[in-house]
């Protein structure tokens, strides 16, 4: 090892704490990059492999009842490669040892045990063979402790049957399984059940017919054309509109996760890299200033400009190396934790957990490049320093009397205060950058806090204000409103209100959107439409009330006409007027008055669901009664939904908040500690002189602490601005058909963020203050400038 | 025939500091001979250090010409000057300029790592009487010892010239004498042409020639017929 390299290693060892502070910030960037890219790659690859091997369909369509004889016609549609018909239906399950009603989706299983598409992977047992046998999803079996041979009861289209489990399976269709109306997967209360074709057809009265079709198309086919032809073909048989993978629930969730990972990889790591580059630049330029004489010496000894420049770049590279090392370790752990998380949400037969080597290489390279880039200016400064000049002490920085000085004299400030203010004004760029760094820390906390505020708001609006019912009772067919009295008589039901759901396509010229149209009675109290400010809104009779995002997508405003094609009921198309708009965060809502819709359909009052308030104490009786009710297709327990959602969210949010707060503390320590250390090294003589002149330790420290804290204070408004801006960007980027994130920024979020950063700044600068207290005055004064 | 190591012709150096022009060198014509030990004597600010920096290739002249043997330094760019310093010149400074994070031996290795035909670092330190302090860091050495490490570092590459800027300036009389002894030994034994800058008149007695500086010019040259050994010098 050459002597210059030894100097490098020892310089680094001397600076290890400063280096570490930067390396940890850098490590966060590397770790997140690693996790996001690694998991993105893993999910994408696994999904692609799974879909390919198990022939996941590309186009899906539900229909009311189409004859199997239609199949040749469908296969003749240009571009259709394979098509597989299926019968499916909802079922109420009565599971042993569980009081609450569970729900299941029954799918038909081909007699030859060889499905063409969406091929399940058998995990245990065998395929169903007999009329009362089912194969169930592995997650459902595991959550309920079922093994092959176990028996449970189910209400299939009004018939109560005892079903025997023959085996468990996974399916590419159900990587993410979520029941109707649920917000989170609930493996205990919802499962997929495969049953022999003959048994399902008999139970749902579908002999010789199908109500679901899955298709694969050839590579050159245009999916939209195929879907259009399919819709035309199935129109007469109650086709509910063909859709592609993007609307297939399981795939949509996996895609959303992949996109989110991609977004995270693009947005978050660059912020960390930028901050570490800035810190490295700050530290290296200070080291170059301190090493001035040594640089002159090296040049006098015959080292070239390039060698000197490289020497300082290598110092930066060592920080990058340390940061990359920590980042890789952290990222590997994080990626594994993330993979475990995925394992609980997503049901893959295998998941490629391995983070590809290129991701490690890429993240390391990114860290190295940004750090070197940060150090370049300082290293070039060292290279350009002329040896004869370098060996002389630097000229004292120029201070000129300006406006500020006259103001300060007028205010008769203390000398130490003037020192603080002058230093900030004398190096405005450095001050600004330090403030920007601390501001970035504040903004990180705000960005996280905003998510919490936004989610709380969404939950409150959606669950507590909009949906106030304890449960929703779903029917297999629309029932006349007169059945309400029967439901009201069920044990424990305190209040009941009807509601209609219609699947419809809204059209305005070339723009169209498939929506679930909700209709309620004017005086509904259990389920209401709620505006962004929490105010209940009644759909004005004679037209549609649309959520603003939906209206925007369709380019509609109040008073415009919109074509509504109903897939349900009489499957009619009507021209309707937009009578109102409402700002909403969840879903793309479309609402109508129930009486108005019934008039349009020329029928007496009907309902597709009943919303009920329930006496908690009598819930078991209600469940027991519902399991015996034939016309029921399901029951959504809103309270349970709310509880599990809130639990998951608050858990996630507290994890996220902690992470962001930790990140903010890291950034703050990185900026404030390094800043104060640099201050100290620049001003050691000055501060020692003050001590010799008789200033107390506290007074001398106040110069250092004062400058950092003043900058930290000035950084706060900057941080609020950044934070609000990031929050706005996040809120915009998260907006999808599923939801919009409201920009909720309450003062306490700002206050909390500032408090964290100010405390961390103070703690960092106090660490440096200890060095002032221990300063050997004589030695400091003796050292040559 | 007398060989020159350095020759200067009408050498001028002007510094521009904050609008004020300082003439550090105001026309210097000088020859320095191979193998001699020359002392540049003068008050501070008389231009001695500026001359030494230009001779050593650390600084550029404003006008005039400088030759190192046949090589015209005033024509060289930065890269060639770096090469020149690396191959031919050894420096000793008033404030030692040791790298604090490197031990005595490693400070010398800084030079031996890049020199063409260096001596062993330990050998160089032995020459300055520091064989027993090889692995000490600068902070563990006295001022005189640090300066001797600096000298060992300067001579380790076997330079043709050794340029010393106030080598005893920061030392007391006793340690200063030890340093001068080392310089004399090197001049005697290795035949290295040595230029010593000082404002300490006592030191001139050990030189072959003394060049007196005042106001950026040579005020006079004096040849010592009999030289005094360093241990006889006191200040």
pLDDT, tens only, A582-630: 888 777 889 999 999 888 888 888 898 899 998 888 888 888 887 777 6
Q: How many helices (H) and strands (E) does chain B have?
A: 6, 10
CA distances from A180 to A94, A472, A555 (A): 17, 11, 30
Position A229 scores a pLDDT of: 93
Position A393 scores a pLDDT of: 61
Give the strand pairing for A606-614 and A471-480. antiparallel
B111 CB neighbours in chain A (<8 A) are 301-302
Indicate left, alpha or beta for B13 from its phi (over 0: left) and psi (-120 to 50: alpha).
beta
Chain B nearest CA to A433, separation (Å): 29
Give the Cα separation of A302 and A313 in Å (integer). Answer: 19
Give the Cα separation of A397 and A417 in Å (integer). Answer: 18
Contacts of A221 (CB under 8 A, 6+ apart): A78, A79, A80, A81
pLDDT in tens, A373-387: 999 988 998 888 887
Report yes or no on A562 lying in a domain. Answer: yes
- Among A614, A637, A656, give the residue marking a domain's end: A614
Report yes or no on A369 lying in a domain. Answer: no
Residue of B98, B106, B118 for testing the chain A interface, max A β-carbons within 10 Å = B106
Domain CATH number, residue A565: 2.40.40
The highest-confidence range among A125-139, A354-368, A376-390, B6-20, by mean pLDDT, is A125-139
**Interface touch B82/A388, C-beta < 8 Å:** no
pLDDT in tens, A682-705: 777 777 767 766 677 777 888 888
Position A567 scores a pLDDT of: 80
Average pLDDT, chain A: 85
Position A569 scores a pLDDT of: 73
Position A401 scores a pLDDT of: 62
Give the strand pairing for A159-170 and A121-125. antiparallel
Query: Which tokens in the block code for residue B112?
Result: 């031996």
Give the Cα separation of B183 and B166 in Å (integer). Answer: 12
Range of the domain at A165: 57-252
A518 touches B: beta carbon within 8 Å? no
Residue of A6, A14, A302, A400 for testing the chain B interface, max B β-carbons within 10 Å = A302
Q: Which ipTM was obtained for this model? A: 0.72
**Interface touch A299/B82, C-beta < 8 Å:** yes
Q: pTM of the prediction? A: 0.73
**Interface touch A296/B97, C-beta < 8 Å:** yes
Position A784 scores a pLDDT of: 47
Task: Say if residue A656's pLDDT is above 50.
Answer: yes
Query: Which tokens in the block code for residue A218?
Result: 């050839």
Query: Region A310-332: what's the mean pLDDT?
Result: 93
pLDDT in tens, A334-349: 888 887 777 777 888 8
Report yes or no on A90 lying in a domain. Answer: yes
Give the Cα separation of A124 and A170 in Å (integer). Answer: 10
Name the pLDDT band for A785 (thresholds 50, 70, 90): very low
Contacts of B139 (CB under 8 A, 6+ apart): B100
Report yes or no on A195 lying in a domain. Answer: yes
Is the Cβ–Cβ distance between A139 and A120 less than 8 Å? no
Percent of chain A whose predicted confidence (pLDDT) is above 90: 33
Percent of chain A whose predicted confidence (pLDDT) is above 70: 93
Report yes or no on A479 lying in a domain. Answer: no
Chain B nearest CA to A308, separation (Å): 12
Report yes or no on A572 lying in a domain. Answer: yes
A297 touches B: beta carbon within 8 Å? yes
Exposure letters A710-721 (e unless 16+ CB within 10 A, then b): bbbebbbebbbe
Position A780 scores a pLDDT of: 61
Q: How many helices (H) and strands (E) does chain A have?
A: 22, 22
Chain A nearest CA to B63, separation (Å): 17
Is the Cβ–Cβ distance between B186 and B163 less than 8 Å? no
Position A381 scores a pLDDT of: 87
DSSP B208-223: SEEEEEETTEEEEEEE
pLDDT digits (tens), chain B, 235 positions = 568 899 999 999 998 766 678 888 999 999 999 999 999 998 888 888 889 989 988 888 999 999 999 999 998 888 888 888 888 988 888 777 787 778 888 888 888 887 888 889 999 998 888 889 888 888 888 888 888 898 898 888 889 999 998 888 878 888 888 888 888 988 998 889 999 998 888 888 899 999 999 989 999 999 988 888 888 887 6
Chain B nearest CA to A392, separation (Å): 11
Indicate left, alpha or beta for A529 from its phi (over 0: left) and psi (-120 to 50: alpha).
beta
Name the pLDDT band for A207 (thresholds 50, 70, 90): very high
- Among A198, A224, A252, give the residue marking a domain's end: A252
Chain A nearest CA to B105, separation (Å): 9
Indicate left, alpha or beta for B27 from its phi (over 0: left) and psi (-120 to 50: alpha).
left
Report yes or no on A213 lying in a domain. Answer: yes
Give the Cα separation of A243 and A10 in Å (integer). Answer: 65
B102 CB neighbours in chain A (<8 A) are 3, 6-7, 10
Position A318 scores a pLDDT of: 92
Task: Say if residue A779's pLDDT is above 70.
Answer: no
Residues 13-42 in A contacting B (C-alpha not used; CB under 8 Å)? 14
DSSP A357-389: HHHHHHHHHHHHHHHHHHHHHHHHHHHHS-HHH
Q: Which residue of B has its CA nearest to A302?
A: B86
A305 touches B: beta carbon within 8 Å? yes
**Interface touch A302/B111, C-beta < 8 Å:** yes
**Interface touch A303/B79, C-beta < 8 Å:** no
- Tell the burial category of A553 from Cβ atoms under 10 Å away from its Cβ (0-12, 13-18, 19+): middle
**Interface touch B99/A294, C-beta < 8 Å:** yes
**Interface touch A7/B97, C-beta < 8 Å:** no
Query: Which tokens in the block code for residue A284?
Result: 């290296």
Task: Say if residue A125's pLDDT is above 90.
Answer: yes
- Which domains does chain B possess? 36-60+87-232 (3.40.50.300)
Strand partners, B14: B23
Write out the H or E segment, with its range, that includes residue A449: helix A428-459
Domain count, chain A: 2
Give the Cα separation of A173 and A131 in Å (integer). Answer: 24
**Interface touch A3/B95, C-beta < 8 Å:** no
**Interface touch B109/A3, C-beta < 8 Å:** yes
Of A237-246, A353-362, A457-466, the least confident: A457-466
Report yes or no on A693 lying in a domain. Answer: no
Q: Which residue of A has its CA nearest to B113?
A: A2
Q: Phi, psi at residue B9, to the nearest 5°?
A: -135, 115
Name the pLDDT band for A456 (thresholds 50, 70, 90): confident
Of B58, B97, B99, the CB nearest to A388: B58
A784 touches B: beta carbon within 8 Å? yes
Helices A357-384, A249-290: axis angle to 10 degrees equals: 20
Strand partners, B211: B40, B221
- Among A554, A581, A614, give the residue marking a domain's end: A614
More confident: A633 or A57: A57
Query: Region A756-762: what's the mean pLDDT?
Result: 93
B134 CB neighbours in chain A (<8 A) are none
Give the Cα separation of A172 and A49 in Å (integer). Answer: 10
**Interface touch A302/B115, C-beta < 8 Å:** yes
B97 CB neighbours in chain A (<8 A) are 293-294, 296-297, 391
**Interface touch B86/A300, C-beta < 8 Å:** no
Give the Cα separation of A720 and A741 in Å (integer). Answer: 19
């Amino acid at each position: 090892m050459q002597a210059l390299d030894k100097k490098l290693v020892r310089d680094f060892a001397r600076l290890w704490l400063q280096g570490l502070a930067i390396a940890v910030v850098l490590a966060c960037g590397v770790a997140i990059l690693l996790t996001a890219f690694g998991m993105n790659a893993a999910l994408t690859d696994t999904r692609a492999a799974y879909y390919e091997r198990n022939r996941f369909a590309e186009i899906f369509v539900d229909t009311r009842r189409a004859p199997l004889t239609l199949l040749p016609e469908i296969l003749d549609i240009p571009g259709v490669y394979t098509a597989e018909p299926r019968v499916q239906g909802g079922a109420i399950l009565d599971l042993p040892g569980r009081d609450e009603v569970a729900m299941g989706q029954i799918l038909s299983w081909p007699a030859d045990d060889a499905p063409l598409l969406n091929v399940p992977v058998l995990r245990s047992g065998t395929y169903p063979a007999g009329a009362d046998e089912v194969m169930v999803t592995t997650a459902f079996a595991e959550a309920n402790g079922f093994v092959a041979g176990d028996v449970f009861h189910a209400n299939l289209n009004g018939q109560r049957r005892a079903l025997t489990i023959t085996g468990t399976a996974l399916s590419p269709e159900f990587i993410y399984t979520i029941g109707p109306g649920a917000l989170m997967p609930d493996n205990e209360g919802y499962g997929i059940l495969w049953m022999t074709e003959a048994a399902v057809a008999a139970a749902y009265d579908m002999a010789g017919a199908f109500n679901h079709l899955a298709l694969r198309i050839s590579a050159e086919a245009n999916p939209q054309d195929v879907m259009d032809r399919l819709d035309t073909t199935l129109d007469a048989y109650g086709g509910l509109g063909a859709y592609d993978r993007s609307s297939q629930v399981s795939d949509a969730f996996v895609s959303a996760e992949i996109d989110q990972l991609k977004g995270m990889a693009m947005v978050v790591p660059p912020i960390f890299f930028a901050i570490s580059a800035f810190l490295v630049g700050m530290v290296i330029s200070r080291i170059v200033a301190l090493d001035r004489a040594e640089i002159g010496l090296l040049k006098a000894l015959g080292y070239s400009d390039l060698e000197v420049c490289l020497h300082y770049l290598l110092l930066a590279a060592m920080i990058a190396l340390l940061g990359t090392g920590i980042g890789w370790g952290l990222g590997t752990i994080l990626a594994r934790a993330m993979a475990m998380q995925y394992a609980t949400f997503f049901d893959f037969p295998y998941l490629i957990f391995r983070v590809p080597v290129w991701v490690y290489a890429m993240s390391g390279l990114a860290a190295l490049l940004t750090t070197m880039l940060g150090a370049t200016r300082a290293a070039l400064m060292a290279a350009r320093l002329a040896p004869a000049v370098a060996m002389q002490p630097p000229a004292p920085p120029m201070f000129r009397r300006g406006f500020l000085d006259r103001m300060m004299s007028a205010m008769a400030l203390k000398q130490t205060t003037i020192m603080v203010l002058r230093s900030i004004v004398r190096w405005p760029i450095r001050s600004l950058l330090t403030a920007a760094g601390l501001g970035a820390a504040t903004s990180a906390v705000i960005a996280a806090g905003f998510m919490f505020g936004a989610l709380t708001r969404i939950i409150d609006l959606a669950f507590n204000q909009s949906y106030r019912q304890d449960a929703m009772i779903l029917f297999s067919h629309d029932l006349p409103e007169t059945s309400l009295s029967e439901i009201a008589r069920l044990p424990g039901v305190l209040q009941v209100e009807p509601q209609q759901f219609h699947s419809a396509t809204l059209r305005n010229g070339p723009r169209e959107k498939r929506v679930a149209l909700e209709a309620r009675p004017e005086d509904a109290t259990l389920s209401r439409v709620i505006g962004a400010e929490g105010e209940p809104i009644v759909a004005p009779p004679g037209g549609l009330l649309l959520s603003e995002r939906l209206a925007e997508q369709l380019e509609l405003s109040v008073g415009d006409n919109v074509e509504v094609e109903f897939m349900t009921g009489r499957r009619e198309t009507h021209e309707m007027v937009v009578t109102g708009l409402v700002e909403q965060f969840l879903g793309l809502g479309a609402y109508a008055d129930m009486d108005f819709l019934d008039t349009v359909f020329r029928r007496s009052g009907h309902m597709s669901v009943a919303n009920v308030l329930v006496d908690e104490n009598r819930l078991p009786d209600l469940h027991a009664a519902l399991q015996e009710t034939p016309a029921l297709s399901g029951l959504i327990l809103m309270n349970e939904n709310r509880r599990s959602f809130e639990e998951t969210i608050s858990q996630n949010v507290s994890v996220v908040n902690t992470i962001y707060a930790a990140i903010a503390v890291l950034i703050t320590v990185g900026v404030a500690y390094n800043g104060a250390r640099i201050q100290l090294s620049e001003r050691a003589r000055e501060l020692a002189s003050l001590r010799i002149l008789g200033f107390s330790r506290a007074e001398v420290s106040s110069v250092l602490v004062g400058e950092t804290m003043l900058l930290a204070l000035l950084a706060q408004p900057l941080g609020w601005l950044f934070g609000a801006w990031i929050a706005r960007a996040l809120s915009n980027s998260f907006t999808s058909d599923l939801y919009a994130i409201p920009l909720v920024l309450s003062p306490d979020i700002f206050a909390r963020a500032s408090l964290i950063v100010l405390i961390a700044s103070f703690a960092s600068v106090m660490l440096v203050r200890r060095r002032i207290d221990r300063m050997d005055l004589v030695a400091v004064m003796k050292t040559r400038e | 025939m007398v060989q020159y190591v350095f020759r200067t012709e009408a050498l001028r150096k002007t510094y521009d500091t904050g609008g004020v022009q300082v003439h550090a060198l105001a026309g210097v014509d000088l020859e320095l001979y191979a193998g001699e030990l020359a002392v540049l004597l003068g008050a501070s600010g008389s231009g001695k250090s500026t001359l030494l920096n230009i001779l050593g290739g650390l600084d550029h002249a404003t006008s005039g010409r400088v030759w190192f043997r046949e090589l015209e330094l005033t024509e060289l760019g930065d890269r060639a000057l770096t090469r020149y310093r690396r191959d031919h010149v050894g420096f000793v400074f008033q404030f030692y300029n040791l790298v604090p994070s490197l031990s005595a031996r490693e400070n010398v290795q800084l030079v031996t790592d890049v020199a063409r035909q260096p001596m062993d670092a330990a050998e160089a330190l032995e020459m300055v009487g520091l064989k027993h302090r090889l692995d000490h860091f600068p902070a563990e050495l006295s001022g005189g010892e640090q300066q001797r490490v600096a000298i060992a570092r300067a001579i380790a590459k076997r330079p043709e010239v050794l340029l010393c800027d106030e080598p005893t300036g920061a030392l007391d009389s006793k340690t200063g004498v030890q340093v001068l002894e080392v310089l004399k030994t090197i001049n005697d034994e290795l035949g290295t042409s040595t230029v010593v800058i000082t404002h300490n008149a006592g030191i001139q007695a050990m030189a072959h020639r003394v060049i007196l500086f005042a106001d950026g010019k040579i005020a006079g040259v004096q040849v010592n017929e009999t030289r005094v050994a360093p241990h006889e010098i006191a200040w």
